[in-house]
Chain A
């Protein structure tokens, strides 16, 4: 399969916007963090400990997992029709993981200490320890895999084994991230042994959304797409994406109803979640995107809707689980008030800027539309 020309005006525009976002967000976030430390965040010991920067991390780390899943359809599971987007997904999975790490690093008290403290003192029963290990291993495997396919080695035994190892590592990492929340029995909104599965399912949705969006942006629309790409984008991809999204919408609905129905102390957060207009914005975005995908129309719009919807979902999940004060919750029904600060929003901008600038840079320089010749 021949590689296509690339570098549409949209890619250039995204790259410039990403660069601008990178400069602005770094300037503001660094200034505020250097001058005020983490008091620049609206998190607190008597309130929400994990704020918007952790939401960003969860969103982008799981998107990375999802992109690896999308790439694996062709590279691991052998569906050749999906090859035209595989290299792009591998690259984007690396970039989105870096975006997530960047937001998390700004949130940690001692990000550089982490580099030696975790390897030297690894707590084997800590989910965060294993999550860090799996994502770090994936980063190495992902880079190796990308180097292989960038050099044209798509199907050698070594290349396939690296790809399979990368996929398994990403699934373990995403699942471990789910366990980090799901194991918290003291926080009923998070607690549950199916949370890792929920994370991987939703990861596939955001991964699919990013894959569709950047593919559309790469070619500037279906008319400019080469035949194999157009066939994929008008055929199995939106259908698979719709099926996945439909299933996820059902799961979100079930979670909501269970949360509202149960009297368990701690689940009253769901009343607040559903009372928020943002929950209904999420519902409208996801359901709207589902119907667009079914009709194979406006795929880029559908992808943006899915990204927006799941960002709200991650926010509701991470923040919602902390809104009911622990311990005090047994007699104080009030919820903690939390609104992200400007600095926290800048880290969101930073993460999105890294993701899109990194993708556009790859699109310009690394021939992300390449696919195997046979």
Chain B
């Protein structure tokens, strides 16, 4: 069984947000509630401030605190290493949102993050939070896939509706391989500068494993002990990209 993971090369990432847009369309997300977000921030002061950006999906941790705190086991980890939410079990207590160190979870039944509130324009059927004009994958509440229902928490699912159908034994889900492209997560598939890689972390011959090994992949907020399965490549040298919060560990 694979242990799916992602590598993001910060030296290649241009901050174009195509990943966010693709994710939003694929997963029927509301504006502002992106499973995959690109965070912008400034470093330094005048006269030499720098605009920086940081792409941030769910880290699908090896030791996910969100899973451990969930009183109903609605948040769970699959055998192939993906952290998912069973919307049919979620009671909306939001303890997982409290316990996630990365702020990647969304409770949609609240004020819209971006106005105007598009939920009022495309009103949801039944329990669904809204009815987007474009439709993503089929509704699969057991795996937290589809349009988010009211009263539950949601998060990035590594496009589980895609990756779970990949042929067994696949080392890397490479968007340049025509036979595998339909199984590649939307953010990886759409990344124009090819800054994202997705594959089996347990396979030493996978490209993700080799990149992590060769380029000293680092993990976000590693001190929390959550052990993310998303790794960042920062390169080296003075102008290298940085992983916020783990800058002290960056290769000199």
Contact = CB atoms under 8 A, between A and B. Distances in A.
Nearest to A36: B111
Interface stretch (A65-73, A111-119, A159-167, A347-355): A111-119
A331 B98 contact: no
Contacts of A330: 221, 244-245
Contact of B93 (A108, A185, A187, A332): A108
Contacts of A128: 69, 71, 93, 95
B221 A327 contact: yes
A122 B71 CA distance: 6
B90 interface: yes
Given A109-B150, A118-B71, A118-B72, A45 B107 contact: yes
A45 B113 contact: yes
B207 interface: no
B118 interface: no
Contacts of B56: 327
Contacts of A122: 71-73
Interface in A13-44: 37-39, 41-44
A234 interface: no
B107 A109 contact: yes
B119 to A, nearest CB: 9
Given A123-B73, A126-B70, A127-B69, A326 B101 contact: yes
A132 B72 CA distance: 11
Nearest to B43: A331
Interface residues of A, number: 41
Given A45-B105, A50-B94, A110-B151, A186 B65 contact: yes
Q: State the majority secondary structure of interface residues on B.
A: loop
A49 to B, nearest CB: 4
Interface string A297-340: 00000000000000000000000001001111011100000000
B107 A49 contact: yes
Nearest to A132: B71
A327 B71 contact: no
Contacts of A97: none
Contact of A187 (B69, B72, B98): B98
Interface in B163-214: none
A245 B95 CA distance: 31
Contacts of B70: 123, 126
Contact of B99 (A41, A42, A186): A186
Interface-centre pick from B69, B91, B95, B225 (highest chain A CB count, 10 A): B91
B113 A123 contact: no
A41 B91 contact: no
A121 B73 contact: yes
Contacts of B97: 45, 49
Contacts of A111: 91
A110 B109 CA distance: 11
Determine the interface band of chain B, counting residues with CB < 8 A from chain A: 35 or more
Interface-centre pick from B43, B71, B106 (highest chain A CB count, 10 A): B71
Contacts of B109: 37-39, 109
Contact of A327 (B32, B91, B245): B245
A250 interface: no
A108 to B, nearest CB: 5
A123 B71 contact: yes
B134 interface: no
B110 interface: yes
B102 A121 contact: no
Contacts of A326: 100-103
B224 interface: yes
A328 B151 contact: no
B91 A114 contact: yes
A42 B110 CA distance: 8
A110 B71 contact: no
A125 interface: yes
A223 interface: no
A175 B89 CA distance: 26
A45 B33 contact: yes
Contacts of A186: 65, 99-101, 221, 224
B68 interface: yes
A210 B251 CA distance: 58
Interface of A: 37-39, 41-46, 49-50, 108-111, 113-114, 117-118, 121-123, 125-129, 132, 180, 184-187, 322, 325-328, 330-332
Q: 9 closest pairs, A vs B, by CB?
A: A109-B92, A109-B151, A330-B245, A186-B101, A129-B71, A117-B72, A128-B71, A121-B73, A49-B97
13 contacts: A38-B109, A45-B97, A45-B106, A46-B113, A109-B91, A113-B91, A117-B74, A123-B70, A126-B68, A126-B95, A325-B103, A330-B244, A332-B41
